[in-house]
Structure 1
């Protein structure tokens, strides 16, 4: 489960960066949703006592 969450975090952050720098304002809301999901997953991992 730990590896899956790490993979999800990395994919969401990469997707956010590609969308932000590649598409600009065209998909602005989607980019921010991806960022929020990545932050929520990181916070969940910290609260559950797992390492990043």
Structure 2
């Protein structure tokens, strides 16, 4: 099974990548949970700055 969400943290930058092109990256409940967990963890580590880009 291909991972639909990849999480990478390098040099203080958290990168979340969606990889579900066959469904135009529509979120599943599992993908949403992974994203929420990763973002919550990032906010705890660096609460002063959060940026989400498309």
TM-score w.r.t. length of structure 2: 0.43
Structure having greater relative contact order (Cα 8 Å, sep ≥ 6): 1
TM-score w.r.t. length of structure 1: 0.44
Name the structure where strand makes up a greater proportion of residues. 2
Name the structure where helix makes up a greater proportion of residues. 1
